[in-house]
Amino acid sequence: MIPWPIALLCLFYAALTAASAAAVWKIATGASGQPLVWAAAWLSLSCAVMCGLPLLKAWARTLAVFGAILMAALSLAVAGLLVISGRPMEALLATLAAGVHVLIIRYLRRPAVRAMFSAERAADHV
């Protein structure tokens, strides 16, 4: 059984995956003129983290941490671009999104959470 904090993280990343998939679809159909690179990167990262977390494997936690690091860096890059373009309020929101990913990284690095993803615990659930 998946612990509820991990399930909530999966739901969070599922919402990000759905939103980024919708953005990729809009770009692919020509309804949006935004660059595909940002949306595709966000989609691949959020999908990888969302699919890896419920497995409760050590590699899945590592994938989630690296995915959250890359998503925080991507959020900060978007914030920088928004500052350059003269939209500071949107940049602040992007920076807060990066902060959420940093909190997720800190949570996933806690010893109690690492124990959830250990090989012995995962073998009990199979």
Residue among 2, 118, 4, 19 at smallest CA distance from 61: 118
In this prediction, residues 13-34 reach a mean pLDDT of 90
Domains identified in the chain, total number: 1
d(CA 122, CA 73): 30
Distance, CA of 22 to chain centre = 16
> In this structure, are residues 110 and 116 in contact, taking their beta carbons and an 8 Å threshold?
no
Give the highest mean pLDDT range of 4-18, 47-61, 111-125.
Answer: 4-18
d(CA 107, CA 114): 9
pTM as predicted: 0.80
pLDDT digits (tens, 9 = 90+) for 91-121: 999 999 999 999 999 999 999 999 888 755 5
Domain of 38 in residue numbering reads as 4-124
Q: Which of 32-36, 44-48, 58-62, 99-103 has the lowest mean pLDDT?
A: 32-36
Provide the pLDDT for residue 119.
Answer: 59
- Measured N-to-C along each axis, helices 4-29 and 88-108 cross at an angle, to the nearest 10 degrees, of 140
> In this structure, are residues 64 and 52 in contact, taking their beta carbons and an 8 Å threshold?
yes
Provide the pLDDT for residue 122.
Answer: 46
Please tell me the chain's helix, strand, coil percentages from 3-state DSSP, rounded to the nearest 5.
85, 0, 15
